[in-house]
Each structure stands twice: as structure tokens, then as C-alpha cells.
Structure 1
Amino acid sequence: MNLPVAQSVTHDHHPSLRVVLSYDDRFLRRKVLTADGGERFLVDLGKTASVNGGDAFVLDDGRRVGVVPAEEPLLEVTGGDLVRLAWHIGNRHTPAQIEPARILIQRDHVMADMLGKLGATTREVVEPFTPEGGAYGHGRTHGHDHSHPHAHDHGEHDHAHG
């Protein structure tokens, strides 16, 4: 059985199909997914991509499958100095959805304990998670393990680590 194939992603707020994906599942290159209604399709992108709500996979038959962020277990952070709390969250390279009165992060008892000691109030919630894009886009973070030299090309400037 041949599955429809998606080799590109675009923006489309009125797709013909939808697929509900968690934050972790929205970072992909090649994977079989199941759209609403049970239709399976193959995502086969040229490179790993991070997709979000409003994005759509373009199938080889012309249909578009819209991405819907799944509801998932999160930790709501409120109270205290949100700017200071956001700094501590970011310092640990933790993806965060920052809103005017709260910050959402993936559930983590160690982070909850640390944030509580910093004066935050935390509450477990179940909601879609769409963290800030940051330097690498779409909330994806990269650790600082520089055990091997590597270079980055950022268009107008290059730099190496190592």
C-alpha cells in the first residue's frame, strides 16, 4: 500500500485534513503520521523541521494536512517575578511558552521544586504547548555540549566552537 507523501510544509489555516501532534512529535524529518479520520501519510522532509499550529504538510496529491498542537501535561508557572523566573528557566535550556501572566513548561518535578524555591507558584495543567522560538526557532533548544569542534554558518557571519 502506497501512502500519500508530504515533502514540504507551508502555512494553511484551512487544510483538508488535520493531524494532532505533541510538542516532541512536531520535530521530525521522516515519519508515518495518522490524520484525523485515520488516514496515514508519510512525512519525508529534506531536513529535520519543527512544525507548529497553522503549518500544514503538503501531500503529493495536493491536499494539505494541518498541524494541531496536542494537549499535553504541562507546568504552569505564576507569581513572583516572572522575568526572573523566565531567566532561570531559559538558563536551563528548558522550552517555555511565555505569556503576560504565566509561563508554561513541560512537567518536571526538579524544575517545579527549583521554581518554588524562587517564589513561583506552580500548577499542573493539560494544554497545547507552543514554546517561544528562541535562537534556533520554534522553541527548540540545544545543549552546550561542545566536546567536539564544530562550525555554524549563520548567513552573514560564521563562528566555530571547540
Structure 2
Amino acid sequence: MTTLMLTARTYHDHAHGPEFAQVSLDYEGRFLRRKVLATDDGQQFLVDLPSTTSLDHGGVLLLEDGREIRIVAAPEELLEVTGDDMPRIAWHIGNRHTPCQIEAGRLLIQRDHVIRDMLGKIGATVREVVEPFKPEGGAYGHGRTHSHAH
């Protein structure tokens, strides 16, 4: 395998040039600072960002030579949540700071048996699915939120 080295200024939330390769990562895998990864076609490269960063689906890592590696949200095990009272269901998910992908008519969250049980108790319909996970970013443009500190 070829090893490619990335510069410290490696991530952009959108493409600037032609795609060289792509790397498919699940939600947790898209949160990193320094790690060796492999493109979908098997080429290894080092990600060395100045700080821990949430890489978004559709963003790019910029190689030292200017080539771009596109970030793709990999399919992962999720829960699809639907119901008659979606605002209430969404409030309960948000109140637990659970990453959530919001779509017309459904919500997608990571599989969690405790949250699944709670959702069933408030009348939600929950179904297991395997899909790419692209949850909403945090409030105020801060990406992922893991606490109340902004």
C-alpha cells in the first residue's frame, strides 16, 4: 500500500478540486485528529489535523500535493424513528444529547437499547436500519456537541 502524508491544513467542508480518492467512515470514525486511514481503494494516508475535528460527509482532506480525498458517510447500524407526535419524540432525543439525522417523516439515531426503550414508551415506532449517518451539527456552528459548553 502507498502511504500518503497530509498537511496540517487538511480538512475542508467542501471540495475545491477534482477528487483523487474517497474514504468511507462511520460517524465515530469521522471525529479525529491524528490517525492513519485507508482510502476505499486501499491507499494508506496519515491524517494530522491541528485539533480534533468532525469530518462531514462531502468534506475533503487535502494532501500535501493538492489532491483531495472525499469523506463519505459509511453505512452503519441505526434506529429509524417515526411516530404521530414527531416534535415530542424529537424533543426527547435532543434532551438526551443524542446525535440525530433529521429528515421529513423520520429521525435516524445510533442504536442504543436504553433510548430505544424510552422511545417505545412515548409511542414512537422504532426500526433497525443500516444506512449512512449524517446527523445535524451542534448549535451555533460548533459541529458536534458533547456538553453544554459553547
Query: Quick check: TM above 0.5?
Result: yes
Match of 2:104 among 87, 100, 108: 100
Q: 3-state DSSP class of the match of 1:127?
A: strand
Query: How big is the shift at 1:6?
Result: 4.0
Q: Which residue of 2 aligns with 1:3?
A: 4
Preserved CA contact (<8 Å) 2:3 2:46:
no
Show the counterpart of 1:57.
61
Structure 2 unpaired stretches of 5+ = none
The one-letter code matched in structure 2 to 1:9 is Y
Please point out which of 141, 144, 148 is paired with 2:145. 141
Question: Could you tell me how far 1:142 is from its partner in structure 2?
Answer: 1.3
1:12 is aligned to: 15
- In structure 2, what is the Cα distance between the partners aligned to 1:2 and 1:16? 14
Secondary structure of the residue aligned to 1:115 is helix
Partner secondary structure for residue 105 of structure 1 = strand
In the TM superposition, 1:32-47 aligns within 5 A as 32-47=36-51
State how far apart, in whole Å, the 2-side matches of 1:128 and 1:6 are.
27
Which residue number in structure 2 is paired with residue 149 of structure 1?
Answer: none
Q: TM-score, normalised by structure 1?
A: 0.83
Q: Which residue of 2 aligns with 1:48?
A: 52
User: How far apart, in 1, do the equivalents of 2:112 and 2:136 lie?
Assistant: 18
> Is residue 116–residue 122 contact of structure 1 (8 Å, CA) maintained in 2?
yes
| SS of residue in 2 equivalent to 1:61 | coil
Residues 5, 60 of structure 1: 8 Å contact kept: yes
Where does residue 81 of structure 1 map in the other structure?
85
Aligned-pair distance for 1:80? 2.3
- Looking at structure 1, the residues matched to 3 and 74 of structure 2 have their Cα atoms a distance apart, in angstroms, of 27
Q: Does 1:118 align with 2:111?
A: no
Q: Higher relative contact order by CA 8 Å / sep ≥ 6: 1 or 2?
A: 2
Aligned length: 145
Provide TM-score, normalisation by structure 2: 0.89
Structure-1 separation of matches of 2:117 and 2:72: 31
* Aligned-residue offset at 1:89: 0.4
Does the CA contact (< 8 Å) of 1:4 and 1:61 recur in 2? Answer: no
CA RMSD, 1 decimal: 1.8
Over alpha carbons, which structure has the higher Rg? Answer: 1
Tell me the SS of whatever aligns to 1:41: strand
Q: Secondary structure at the match of 1:37?
A: coil
In structure 1, stretches of 5+ residues that fail to align are 145-151, 155-162
